[in-house]
Amino acid sequence: MEIAVLGTGTVGRTLAAAFSALGHGVVLGTRDPGATAGRAGPGPMGGTPFREWQAGHAGIGLETFAEAAGRSALVVNATNGAGSLAALAAAGAAALEGKVLVDVANPLDFSHGMPPLLDPVNADSLGEQIQRAFPGAKVVKTLNTMNAGIMVDPGRLANADHSVFLSGDDAAAKETVSGLLRELGHRDIIDLGDITTARGAEMVLPLWLRLFGALGTPNFNFKIVRGGQGAP
How far is residue 231 from each of residues 226, 227, 228, measured CA to CA in Å? Answer: 9, 5, 5
Which residue lies nearer to a copy of itself by CB, 49 or 206?
206
Find the DSSP H helices in 64-204.
65-71, 84-91, 93-96, 126-133, 148-152, 171-184, 198-203
Helix axes 126-133, 84-91, angle to 10 degrees: 20
Smallest distance from the beta carbon of 218 to a copy of itself, in angstroms?
A: 10
Q: Say how far apart CA 29 and CA 4 lie, in whole Å.
A: 7
Smallest distance from the beta carbon of 205 to a copy of itself, in angstroms?
A: 8
Smallest distance from the beta carbon of 215 to a copy of itself, in angstroms?
A: 6
Residues contacting residue 190 through CB under 8 Å, at least 6 positions apart: 163, 164, 165, 166, 224
Per CB under 8 A, residues contacting a copy of itself are: 112, 117-119, 121-123, 149, 156-158, 161-162, 165, 190-193, 197, 199-201, 203-204, 206-211, 213-215, 217, 219-227, 231-232
Which residue lies nearer to a copy of itself by CB, 173 or 202?
202
Smallest distance from the beta carbon of 224 to a copy of itself, in angstroms?
A: 5
Which residue lies nearer to a copy of itself by CB, 54 or 197?
197
Q: Say how far apart CA 62 and CA 33 lie, in whole Å.
A: 6
Which residue lies nearer to a copy of itself by CB, 25 or 120?
120
How far is residue 20 from each of residues 3, 16, 106, 177, 183, measured CA to CA in Å? Answer: 9, 6, 24, 16, 12
How far is residue 201 from each of residues 117, 138, 165, measured CA to CA in Å? Answer: 15, 18, 7
Contact 191, 166 (CB under 8 A): yes
Smallest distance from the beta carbon of 216 to a copy of itself, in angstroms?
A: 10
Which residue lies nearer to a copy of itself by CB, 83 or 213?
213
Smallest distance from the beta carbon of 140 to a copy of itself, in angstroms?
A: 15
Which residue lies nearer to a copy of itself by CB, 46 or 113?
113
